[in-house]
Amino acid sequence: MANTYTDTPIASHTLAADQPVIEGNFLYLANTLGTSNGKNGDHQIALTGVDTTQFEGRHRQVCLNNRHGAAPTVAGIGDGTNALIYADDGNIFFGSVTGTGAFQLTTYNGGANFGGYATIATAGFKTVRGAGWTFLPGGLIYQYGYIQSPGAVEKMKFPIPFPTNVMGVFLTLARTASGGDSVWIDTSGTNNLNQFQIKSSTSTADYIYFTAIGN
């Protein structure tokens, strides 16, 4: 449905003549700019060019009210088949059923090392290079980095603390010489949301790379 409407009332018209025009304009508002349970409404406003095709509207920006943890309750959306996108404390969530939309799409203000590479030098810990992290849709956090010239035992800081769980830390050993060396998580050390400890069978390795995932 194109975004068109008819000017009304017209001075020379009778109310009977303008009534169907007014009704048509309200139908336009309901179906083109509003929400339709029948899924035939555009729910959009074309800001560049002219909207001549259903579902063609373009937005320069959209402002979503902060739900503050409350379940979305807009009638006609989130009915199990329609999609629902809403904001909660600066993040955007997606759902298909009213009140559940718990699939997190973004992270607000990622902070230090978000999506980048940094050097983390902390007293008592091995210096982590190439350190960074990123948010994965759904609420997971992916972290990464490497250390140079590791000793037999090393304590390492994550680029950021995991908020809730560490689901896995994965290590890769790289060295210039061949050999059957290995590296592993040291369960006798302190492993928590902030840090982990590793051991290697030799201290001659050039690098140990790590990736970690959690939430």
Helix (H, G, I), strand (E, B) or coil at 107: coil
For the entire predicted model, the pTM comes to 0.68
Q: Is 37 part of any domain?
A: no
- Whether 22 is covered by a domain: the verdict is no
| CATH of residue 166 | 2.60.40.3940
Residue 42 covered by a domain: no
H or E segment to which residue 15 belongs = helix 15-28
> Would residue 210 count as lying in a domain?
yes
> Which residue bears the tokens 């899924």?
39
| Residue 10 confidence class, pLDDT cut points 50, 70, 90 | confident
Going by pLDDT thresholds of 50, 70 and 90, the confidence category of residue 141 is very high
Query: Residue 57 above 60 pLDDT?
Result: no
Question: Contact at 8 Å (CB) between 181 and 129?
Answer: no
Within-domain flag for 27: no
Residue 5 lies inside a defined structural domain of this protein:
no
Q: How confident is the model at residue 124 (pLDDT cuts 50, 70, 90)?
A: very high
Report the first-to-last Cα separation within the chain, whole angstroms.
Answer: 44
Domain that holds residue 185: 118-214
The pLDDT of residue 1: 41
Per-residue pLDDT tens over the stretch 147-168: 998 888 999 999 999 999 999 9
Q: Using CB atoms within 10 Å of the CB of residue 23, give its burial: 0 to 12 exposed, 13 to 18 middle, 19+ buried.
A: exposed
Q: Is 135 helix (H, G, I), strand (E, B) or coil?
A: strand
**Chain-wide mean pLDDT for the chain?**
78
Q: Is residue 84 part of a domain?
A: no
Total domain count, the chain:
1
